[in-house]
Amino acid sequence: MTVPELVISNVSMAYTPPDWPGGYWWHWLFFSVVLIGFMLTMVIIAIYIERRGLGRMQSRLGPNRTGPFGVLQMVADVIKVLLKENIVPDKADKLVHWLAPIVAFVPVALIFAVIPFQNGALLADLNIGILFIVAVSSLTTLGVFMAGWGSSNKYSLLGAMRNVAAVVSYEIPLALSIVGTLLVAGTMSLNGIVIAQDIPFILVQPLGFLIFFIAGCAEINRSPFDLMEADSEIVAGFHTEYSGMKFALFYLVEYAEAIAISAIITSLFLGGWRGPLLPPWLWFIVKTLIVFFVMVWTRVTLPRVRIDQLMALAWKFLLPLALINLFITAIQVLAWDNAVNWIAVVVNIVVMVVLILIWSKFFKLGWGRLEV
């Protein structure tokens, strides 16, 4: 496989791929349209996969009436939800209630700006790409908290508080697990990280991948960490009081976040657009959907954890492991000229297995009763 040479340190914010016709503005316009289209299409595909997959795994059929194999079900749902009445509670903080879905939606859309679909095919090849993602992605929480606060509903508030607590805790292992990858790749640009993956980083950084996957699931509230909208406990969490288009936006955010995390995992750990035979952008989409499917799979399999157990997992399990992983990776990068080699793969897998065995032996989720 030949990968074109890219001098990563020279990549500036106004980077335009050399083979692209037109200037900066064409590039900007084209990718903005493509990204919005991509996000909406992927969300529809993701919802279809989730509902059908959930159905099949739960020994039922899932949506299968609208269109062939039910593929038009999402279109019907979108039309339905757009035509619904917009209900705002009497005591709601109107402005906050109205702003919340937008505040939640924008950061998710921004994430896609730095994700490479092909070599150089991305809206902005920031040389701090992954840092940008970490910074922007947690802003969604603000929208969620606004929704919880503005709804003037106790269930919403409980859900929003849970979400804030979870995101604040899981940001740390999430960021630390990325640092290992950055050390190995030697760049923060996502395109550069993909180019550096002669061996997919899921093998070079197995522990980092695991931590990132778990923390990512918790960050975007996928099951088993879907506490903020735990339907059996707090009804629908922060979007209990939302209907119509605003609810649709939250629904969109939820799946767009899942797709974004899948895309980031694809770029960071699974070799991004690299792969034989198929065109690169197709490889990227296929890998993203595979990661998303794993999320569907865990959702259908596992019960939900409790809020204190969620916190314990972040601070007692993921954080120490992420620190150790970072330490070991740093030593490897110092010791070898090129840390992406097969010896590192073997060493890191062994380290991962040993560490997880040790931690799972001593780490127990507590009983969590308080005297009142």
Partner 1 sequence: MTTTEMMTLKTEPFVLNFGPVHPSTHGVYRMRVTLDGEVVIDLEPVVGYLHRGIEKLTEERTYGGVIPLTDRLDYISPMSNNLAYCLAVEKLAGIKVPERAEYLRVIMAELQRLANHCIAVGSLFSDSGAAFTPFMYMFREREKIVDLFEMVCGQRLTYNYMRIGGVSQDIPDEFLPALSKFLVTMPRFIDELDFFLKENEIFLARAKGVGILSKEVAINCGMSGPVARASGINRDLRKADPYSVYDRFEFDIPTCETGDCYDRYRVRIEEMRQSLRILEQASKDIPQGSVKADVPHLIRPPSGEAYGHLEAPKGELGFYIVSDNSIAPYRCHIRPTSLINLSALRDMIKGWKVADLIIIFGSIDITMGEVDR
Distance of CA 6 to the CA centre of its chain: 27
As a whole number of angstroms, the distance between CA 278 and CA 260 comes to 22
Question: Which window, 207-215, 244-252, 327-335, 361-369, contacts partner 1 (CB under 8 A)?
Answer: 361-369
Nearest approach, Cβ of 308 to partner 1 (angstroms)? Answer: 7
Q: Is 49 or 131 the residue whose CB approaches partner 1 more closely?
A: 49
Q: How many residues bind partner 1 (CB under 8 A)?
A: 39
Cβ burial 284-316 (10 Å sphere, 16+ → b, else e): bbebbbebbeebbeebeeeebbebebbbbbbeb
> What is the footprint of partner 1 within residues 45-64 (CB under 8 A)?
54, 57-60
C-beta closer to partner 1: residue 57 or 323: 57
β-partners of residue 118 are: 121
For the bound state, the minimum distance from the C-beta of residue 137 to partner 1, rounded and expressed in Å, comes to 24
Compute the chain's Rg from CA coordinates.
21
Minimum gap (Å) between residue 266 Cβ and partner 1: 24
CB of 255 to partner 1, least distance (A): 16
Total residues belonging to the chain: 372
Could you say which of 49, 142, 323, 365 contacts partner 1 (CB under 8 A)?
365
Q: Which of 202, 40, 62, 198 is nearest to 112 (CA)?
A: 40
CB of 359 to partner 1, least distance (A): 13
Contact 107, 260 (CB under 8 A): no
The minimum distance between CB 158 and partner 1, in angstroms, equals 7
Which lies closer to partner 1 via its Cβ, residue 5 or residue 90?
A: 90
CA angle 149, 261, 224 (to 5 degrees): 65
Of 53 and 280, the one with the shorter C-beta distance to partner 1 is 53
Q: Determine which residue in the list 4, 25, 337, 369 makes contact with partner 1, applying CB under 8 A.
A: 369
Tokens of 31: 């990718």
Query: In sequence order, what are the residues at sequence separation of 6 or more whose Cβ sits closer than 8 angstroms to the Cβ of residue 269?
Result: 181, 200, 201, 202, 205, 208, 209, 212
* Of 77 and 308, CB closest to partner 1: 308
Binding positions for partner 1, 255-314, rule CB under 8 A: 299-309
Are 101 and 246 in contact, with CB atoms under 8 Å apart? Answer: yes
CB 303 → partner 1: shortest distance, Å?
Answer: 4
140 or 223: whose CB is closer to partner 1?
223
Q: What is the residue whose two structure tokens read 């959907």?
A: 289
Cβ closer to partner 1: 30 or 363?
Answer: 363
| Nearest to partner 1 of 159, 173 (CB atom) | 159
Encoded one letter per residue, x for contact with partner 1 by CB under 8 A and - for no contact, window 222-261 reads -xx-xx--xxxxxx--------------------------
**What is the nearest approach in angstroms of partner 1 to the Cβ of residue 161?**
8
Binding string, 151-190, against partner 1, x = CB under 8 A? ---xx--x--xx----------------------------
Query: Quick one: DSSP state of residue 305?
Result: P
- Cβ-based nearer residue to partner 1, 150 or 224: 224
Q: Which of 262, 221, 229 is nearest to 247 (CA)?
A: 229
The footprint of partner 1 (CB under 8 A) covers 54, 57-60, 154-155, 158, 161-162, 223-224, 226-227, 230-235, 299-309, 364-365, 367-372
